Amino acid sequence: MKKTILLLAALCCYAALGIAGSSLAEDGTAAEEVLEYDSGYWTDLLTSSPFGIFAETVRFTPPRTPWTLTKVQVAGWDGFDNETLPEERVIALEIRDEDLKLIYQFADSQIPHFSDTSPALETFELPPLVVNDEFYVCFYSRGAVLVAFNATETGDRSYTYNRITGELLSAKAMTEESEDPVSVNWMIRAVGH
């Protein structure tokens, strides 16, 4: 009987602490999940309009609801060659809901974020944003950053967003292998818990 009670007590503690099927990290904080729809390997780099009208955009579906978005990662490069800094320009990041309504926006110089000597995955910290449905991450490179993409099976997740018209266009780019623009996946990722 004592063994049964001890076993039940241990199971209750185990369940109460959320150890079974938990999404907690070892330090007790929520474990981060990275949502990505690219292959992980970049095919090439591309930049959008320097006027900030168009954004490289990815549509994300949270793995469960509610889900909290805490970071965005963008693979890109501003052309820094380890000798001279590129011209400073303003980049912007927006989070939009499933109806493309603005939830969050951020703007800064590209220099503190993308001045590696080769393309790199930059992480932007966000205030915790609870999302209960699909959402869009829009990155305005504004001619300052070449954003990495891969020309693989797209799954209809990557777009070019026109902030003037509010229109989403399929993301396409020219590649060496094709005479016509091909569908691409922007290497933009969402991180949260």
What does the domain layout of the chain look like in residue ranges?
Answer: 1-28, 32-192
- pLDDT, residue 124, reads 98
Does 3.40.50 match the CATH number of domain 32-192? no
* 148: number of Cβ within 10 Å: 25
- pLDDT, residue 129, reads 98
Q: How confident is the model at residue 9 (pLDDT cuts 50, 70, 90)?
A: very low
Token pair in block for residue 164: 């003037």
- C-alpha distances out from residue 19 to 7, 13, 101, Å: 16, 9, 37
* pLDDT exceeds 50 at position 148: yes
Token pair in block for residue 20: 């079974």
178 against 79, higher pLDDT: 79
Structure confidence by residue, pLDDT tens digits, 41-70: 888 888 777 778 999 999 999 999 999 999
